[in-house]
Structure formats: C-alpha cells, structure tokens
Amino acid sequence: MNKIKGVFKKKNVIVTGGAGFIGSHICEILTKDENARVICIDNLITGTEMNIDRLLQSQDFKFIRHDITEPIDLSKFPELAPFEIEFAGIQEIYNCATPTSYKEAKKFTDETVLTNSIGVKNVLDLAKKYNAKMVHLSSSAIYGDPPPEDKHFSEDYWGFVNPVSERASYDEGKRFSETLCKTYYDAYNVKVTIARVFATYGPHMIMDEGRHVPDFITSAIDNKDIVIYGDKETTTSFCYIKDMVEGLMKLVESKNLGPFNIGTDEEYKLADIAQKVIELTGSKSKIKFEKSLEGMHVRGLPNIKKIKDETGWFALVKFDEGLKETIDYMRSVKSRYEQEGLWNNSTLDRKE
C-alpha cells in the first residue's frame, strides 16, 4: 500500500475533472473524510464551480483551475503549500476529466481527444511520480453497439467502434486512454485501475445536453415536452451517483488493472422513465420522440460479475429512490441554475 511519508496522517487525493458530475461527488465524499485532503483539478469547460462551492470552505479542499492537457506541476500552485506535497506526496488519483457534448458531437472534439490522450498521459505521469494509486474513468462507449446475440457487455468484448465517426474523439479517445493505462501499468508498474462507467444519474449533471434523467426532470418541472431521442422501445440502464462513487472508491484499492464494468444491469424503457418523472413532479408535460442523436450507440447493459468478484460492489439504490432525490435537488437549485444560464438552455461554450 502506498503509505504517506513521514508523520503526515492525511492522504492527499487528486480528482481531475473534479467540478464535473462524477468528480464533484467524489470530492464531496473525500472532503468528509477527516483523513483526506483533496485537490480538485478542472478547467471548467463542462464542469462548474457550483458543484463544488460548498467544499471551498474546507481547509482540506483546494480547487485548481487547470487544463490537464498541459503539464501538471503541483509545485507551481502556491495554494497547495498547506498540503506539503513535497514531503507527504500524493496517495490517490481519480481521473474523471472528459469534456464532451451529447447533443453536439463536434462541440468539444479537439478538447476531448487531447484530454483522452495527452491529458491521461499527464495524469499517469503524476501517478508514476508519486507512486499513487489511480482509478481511470473510461466509458461503456468503448464497446460501441452490443453484439446481436447478447445485449450484456463483458469486459472481454473488444467492441465495435468507428474511429472516424462523429463521436470518435470520445469513443476512440476512451479506448486509447485504456491503452495508455495498460502501457504505464506494464512499463512503469503504475497502480492504475480502469473503470468502464455505464449510464449514471443524480445531482450535478449537465442539463439540456441530451442526458436523459436531468433533461426529463427540467422539462417536467417547466411543463415542457419531454423529448426522447429514440422510439418507445428505446432502453438503457441507470446507476445512481452514490452507488457509482462507492464502486469507484472500492476500485482504487484494487491491484488489478481491470478493466471493470461499473453500472447497473437492470434495463429500463426511456418512455417509462419519462412517465415516472411526469408523475413524481406532477407535471403537465407530454412525451415526444425524435430521431437518435448522431453517432449514438445502441445502449447495452453491463455484466458486472468482475467488479462484484473483485470488490463485492453492486448497486443498492433503487431507481425510484434515486430519481426522487435527483428531482428534489434539481428543484432546490432551479433559481440559481437559471441565473447561471444552466437551466433548460444549452449554454456550454468554449472557455478561453
């Protein structure tokens, strides 16, 4: 186990993409740990400080606005001095950084492909330098469409992805990022584990970006039509963010490169989810069906036997419970999101 040097009792943990959806929840859990100090690194292309503003008051949490495609030299950030990284080191890294846009496949293509290549290399170099344990968040997108004989993806399925498609910077980028992890694992003995993340939902998600649950909820609260990109039979799986983070935090203790599927293997029709959102919000919304977003794959389900065997993890939060918590959160932040232009309005632009 990577021990903290000297007399330091708190571990130093880096979360890249820490102001994004999954990363901000990891930061939140770690900041509650009296034995951890958290360094959140994000360039805020698709993340937002609103996701971490409550954490900024903690002396054990530091936010660094930085693009991981640029070299990451922690000594150049004076605000990190209290963490005494030169002496205490870095013990864990969660790489959650990936800018992307569901609705507009070409919106962040260059940022996405560079983050999944140069950015991942820079993070792996940090793990190598500090002998830190690392979890790299890959994606179910690396599989492409499921094979016709089985809609469940197992980790030994190599996938079927178009390297020059509209979404190749994400899909193939994630595949290449796994190759980088494998290379550093073999060549430099970097303690990295690959997590292939399947559909996840909960508070802090980007809205009006083609992501089912937050878009359904915002439309329902505003009594607008709920749009499903697909037909009445379109299905997917959903893992609540609390379960997802617990699984990722178990994987950081693994000595196995993986990859590990992480998500739920329960299948839901999007039309049923939309109807449930309407009922829970008391909305007057109607459900509309539109053609699938360009380049999106048929949604498969994860075979999660491997992560169960490795860590004992499986999702516990029932979908209805997670959905209610997400609705309550989104209602509570509606006015603030509207002020920031993040409610039912695609305002994600490139930030210089």
Where in the sequence numbering do the catalytic residues fall?
170
What gap in Å lies between CA 212 and CA 235, rounded to an integer?
A: 11
Question: Which residues neighbour 209 within 8 Å (Cβ) at sequence distance 6 or greater?
Answer: 101, 102, 103, 215, 346, 348
What gap in Å lies between CA 20 and CA 27, rounded to an integer?
A: 10
* DSSP annotation string for 171-187: HHHHHHHHHHHHHHHHH
Give exposure, 239-275, as e/b (b: 16+ Cβ within 10 Å). bbbbbbbbbbbbbbebeebbbbbbbbbeebbbbebbe
Number of neighbouring beta carbons within 10 Å of residue 157: 17
What gap in Å lies between CA 107 and CA 210, rounded to an integer?
A: 13
Question: Which residues neighbour 52 within 8 Å (Cβ) at sequence distance 6 or greater?
Answer: 18, 19, 24, 27, 28, 40, 61, 63
